[in-house]
Amino acid sequence: MTRAAKFFIIASTFAFALAACAANVPKAFLPTATSPAPWARVIIPKPTYTASPFPSPLPTFTSTSTSIPTSIPTSTATNTPPALSMEIVADTPIPAYSASNNLANAADSPQVNAGGKYILVSISTQHLYAYDNGQIVYSFVASTGMGNSTRVGKFSVLDKIPNAYGATWNIWMPDWLGIYWSGSLENGIHALPILSGGTRLWAGYLGTPISFGCVVLGINEAHELYNWAEVGTPVEIQR
């Protein structure tokens, strides 16, 4: 049998089967020439991109380094050794002033039984107390070192300098009472330091740990304590 004959037989069989299936379908379900088609092909145009809700070109984020102000001065000295040097300078006239002892807080001050003069610094309360024979004499707001840089312990006044110079930071520290050495640097109690241009460093920040390790007092409070304390006066620093 030729290939064409085989194809004719298969096609005839398929057509006969299709006709038989159509004959078995109810007439109601067969489409008529007048019945509307249940679907139709619709060509929908592709939307075009007309506008963007974002600016063009898109902004790019550029990290800008903003200098964070700090209270740490930069040394302008060129030939100063990296150590604390202290020198006595001529005293300038100091107006007559009696610092407020703030003894209204005396009832809340720590009670001590030390005889003679005694200075107590509280880091937790940022306060300095001065006693004479167990009686409180001064109660001053103070500022200790940042990051617990003020050492805790029992010390004493090692020296008294009217105006000490800090070569490391190029600052002056009036009414200096040295209390302990930390390597080549001596920490002490002093008034708000003075920058080379005459500006008072850390003014307005008393009561907050802000120094490099020293105990800082107000201008007049430091002067009162300087005149009252003596070399050898015990100094205790507590948490």
Which of 15-29, 143-157, 185-199, 218-232 has the weakest average pLDDT?
Answer: 15-29
Q: What is the mean predicted confidence (pLDDT) over 51-76?
A: 37
The residue length of the chain stands at 239
**Strand stretches in 147-219, DSSP E:** 153-156, 159-166, 171-182, 185-191, 194-195, 215-217
Average pLDDT of every residue of the chain: 72
Higher pLDDT, 118 or 109: 118
Most confident of 19-28, 30-39, 49-58: 30-39
- Write out pLDDT tens, residues 147-189: 999 999 999 999 999 999 998 889 999 999 999 998 988 999 9
Which of 105-114, 116-125, 197-206 has the weakest average pLDDT?
Answer: 105-114
Q: What is the 3-state secondary structure (H, E, C) of 148-164?
A: HCCCCEEEECCEEEEEE
- Is the distance from CB of 157 to CB of 232 less than 8 angstroms? yes
